[in-house]
Structures are given as structure tokens and as C-alpha cells.
């Protein structure tokens, strides 16, 4: 199996549409909403551990201004159909990255 690695890419849509290798972490969306009662979640990881990519994934999932259904096809989150109908592309999202 041949795959492309998108070195330095942190945009979820770009990675999925260009067919780059992606480690599926979409189950965290379900866990954050369904399995926790958090008002706020803080993601602390060392640099270069995918924080911006994960936030981009979340932004693409929740953002009401996007149609992300095809981006998430075949990923873990697509197994939670009722959850996706309720939450996917249903909310206004403000995405700010301090990456650069």
C-alpha cells in the first residue's frame, strides 16, 4: 500500500482531500461531547504533536458554514450516525491558530 505523508500540513480538509496519510483521531469528538460533562477542554501537548490539526478537524466537524460529510466518511466518527446528524456542521465556530 502506497501513501503520501503531508509533512508540515495542519489543515484537516487539505490532508483528507489530498489523500495524505492520516491517523484517525475522530473518536475524540464523540468522547468529548458524549462521554464528558466538560464546559471547557484544554489540550496540552508538546510542540509538533498535532494540536492545530486536531483543532482543524474539530472546526471542520462542527462549523455550520461547511459541509464536511464527505471528509469524515470512513473515519471512526462516521460510525456514530445519530451523533453526526445532531452535531456535524450545526454550530458557529471561531477558529484561531497561533501556529505562525
pLDDT per residue, tens digit, the chain (100 aa), is 577 787 878 889 999 998 888 889 999 999 999 888 888 888 888 877 888 899 999 999 999 999 999 999 999 999 999 999 999 999 999 988 777 7
- 3-state per-residue secondary structure call for the chain: CCCECCCCCCCHHHHHHCCECCCCCCHHHHHHHHCCCCCCCCCCCCCCCCHHHHHHHHHHHHECCCCCCCCCCCCHHHHCHHHHHHHCCCECCCCCCCCC
What pTM did the predictor assign?
A: 0.85
Confidence (pLDDT) at 9:
84
Confidence (pLDDT) at 7:
80
Amino acid at each position: 500500500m502506497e501513501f503520501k505523508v503531508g509533512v508540515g500540513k495542519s489543515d484537516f480538509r487539505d490532508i483528507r482531500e489530498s489523500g495524505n496519510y492520516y491517523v484517525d483521531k475522530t473518536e475524540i469528538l464523540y468522547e468529548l461531547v458524549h462521554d464528558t460533562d466538560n464546559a471547557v477542554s484544554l489540550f496540552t501537548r508538546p510542540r509538533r504533536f498535532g494540536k492545530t490539526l486536531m483543532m482543524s478537524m474539530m472546526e471542520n466537524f462542527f462549523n455550520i458554514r461547511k459541509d464536511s460529510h464527505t471528509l469524515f466518511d470512513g473515519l471512526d466518527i462516521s460510525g456514530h450516525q445519530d451523533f453526526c446528524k445532531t452535531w456535524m456542521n450545526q454550530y458557529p465556530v471561531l477558529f484561531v491558530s497561533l501556529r505562525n
